[in-house]
C-alpha cells in the first residue's frame, strides 16, 4: 500500500515512521531542506531508551503534485495550514482516500468540499516532539482514533496497528472530535497561559478551579451529553501526560502560531450563535493571542 503523509511536523514524522512498518510511505514537506534530510537519512524515532531509524521517502510539496500513485493521503499539518493544502487535495484522484489528523473542528467544513469519495477524520492521542527535521520523540503512547466522514469504509486501519501505535475505528466522527476538542480546549490554552506541564492543571488547586470554569462554559456551549465523563477524560489525560508540555505551550515557546483559533475560536463562534456568555474562555483566548503576538514565552 502506498501512503502520502503531508506535514513535516511532530505528528507527520511520527505517523510516517510507524506507518512505514506496514506500507510504502512518502512524506511531503514544505521545505526542501527537510525533504532532502529525510530522504537521505530516514526518520529517527525515539521512544524511552529505544532509538530506531526508519526508511521513508520524502518530497517537497509542489503546486503540480497530483498524488496519483497513492491509496491514502494523510493530512498531518496544523489546523491553520489546512486551507493551503486543500488545492492539492482538489487535484488528487477521487478514488484516493484522505485522512485528516487535526485538533479543533475547522477542517470539517473544508473536508466537505473535497472530491474524494472516501474521507476519514482522526485524532491523535500520542505525545510527540520534533527534535530536528528528521528526528521525532514519541513522548507519550496513546491511540489514534479514526472515523469515516464520507463515502464507503475502504480501509481497515487495524492493519497499521501495533502495541505502541494503536488504531481504533470509531462510529461517530462528531463525538470523536468533540471529545478531543474538550480535552484540548481545557489543557492546551491553560498550560500555555500558566506556562506549566499538563499535570499542574489538576494538581494545583488554583489552576484546577480555572480549568473547571473553562469546562463548565464548554459544557454550556457544546451541550455535552455526559459532562462527568468528559471531565473525567480531561483529568485522565492530565494524569497520563502529567510531565508533558502541551503543543500550544511548545508553540509559544518556539514563537510559532498556535491553534487557539481552531480550538477556542470555534467555541466562541458557537457561543455567539447560541447567545451564550463565555467570559472565562474569552479571557483565556485573548491571553493566548496576546502571548502569541508578543512572543513573550520565547524570550
What residues contact 99, with CB distance under 8 A and at least 6 apart? Answer: 72, 73, 74, 75, 119, 120, 121, 122, 146
Of 260, 105, 83, 82, residue with least CA distance to 181:
105
For the chain, give the number of residues.
299
Q: What share of the chain is helix, strand, coil (3-state, %, to 5)?
A: 45, 20, 30
The active-site residue out of 83, 180, 257, 273 is: 180
Residue 59 appears among annotated catalytic residues:
no
What is the β-pairing status of strands 119-124 and 57-60?
Answer: unpaired
The C-alpha cell of 84 is what? 493551503
Q: What CA–CA distance (Å, rounded) separates 116 from 90?
A: 8
Non-local CB neighbours of 87 within 8 Å, separated by 6+ positions: none
Instruction: Please identify every residue annotated as catalytic.
Output: 180
Amino acid at each position: 500500500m502506498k501512503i502520502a503523509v503531508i506535514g513535516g511536523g511532530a505528528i507527520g514524522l511520527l505517523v510516517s515512521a510507524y506507518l512505514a512498518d506496514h506500507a510504502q510511505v512518502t512524506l511531503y514537506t514544505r521545505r526542501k531542506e527537510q525533504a532532502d534530510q529525510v530522504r537521505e537519512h530516514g526518520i529517527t524515532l525515539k521512544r524511552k531508551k529505544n532509538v530506531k531509524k526508519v526508511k521513508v521517502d520524502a518530497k517537497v510539496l509542489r503546486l503540480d503534485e497530483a498524488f496519483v500513485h497513492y491509496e491514502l493521503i494523510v493530512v498531518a499539518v496544523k489546523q491553520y495550514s489546512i486551507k493551503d493544502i486543500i488545492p492539492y487535495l482538489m487535484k488528487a484522484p477521487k478514488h484516493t482516500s484522505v485522512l485528516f489528523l487535526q485538533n479543533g473542528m475547522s477542517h470539517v467544513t473544508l473536508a466537505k468540499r473535497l472530491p474524494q469519495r472516501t474521507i476519514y477524520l482522526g485524532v491523535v492521542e500520542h505525545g510527540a516532539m520534533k527534535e530536528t527535521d528528521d528526528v521525532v520523540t514519541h513522548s507519550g503512547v496513546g491511540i489514534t482514533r479514526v472515523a469515516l466522514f464520507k463515502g464507503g469504509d475502504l480501509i481497515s486501519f487495524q492493519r497499521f496497528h501495533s502495541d505502541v501505535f494503536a488504531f481504533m475505528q470509531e462510529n461517530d466522527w462528531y463525538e470523536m472530535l468533540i471529545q478531543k476538542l474538550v480535552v484540548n480546549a481545557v489543557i492546551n490554552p491553560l498550560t500555555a497561559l500558566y506556562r506549566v506541564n499538563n499535570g499542574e492543571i489538576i494538581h494545583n488547586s488554583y489552576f484546577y478551579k480555572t480549568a473547571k470554569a473553562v469546562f463548565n462554559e464548554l459544557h454550556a456551549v457544546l451541550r455535552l451529553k455526559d459532562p462527568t465523563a468528559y471531565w473525567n477524560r480531561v483529568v485522565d489525560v492530565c494524569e497520563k501526560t502529567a510531565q508533558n508540555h502541551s503543543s500550544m505551550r511548545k508553540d509559544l515557546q518556539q514563537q510559532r502560531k498556535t491553534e487557539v483559533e481552531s480550538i477556542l475560536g470555534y467555541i466562541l463562534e458557537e457561543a455567539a450563535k447560541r447567545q451564550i456568555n463565555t467570559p472565562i474562555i474569552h479571557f483565556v483566548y485573548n491571553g493566548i493571542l496576546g502571548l502569541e503576538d508578543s512572543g513573550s514565552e520565547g524570550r
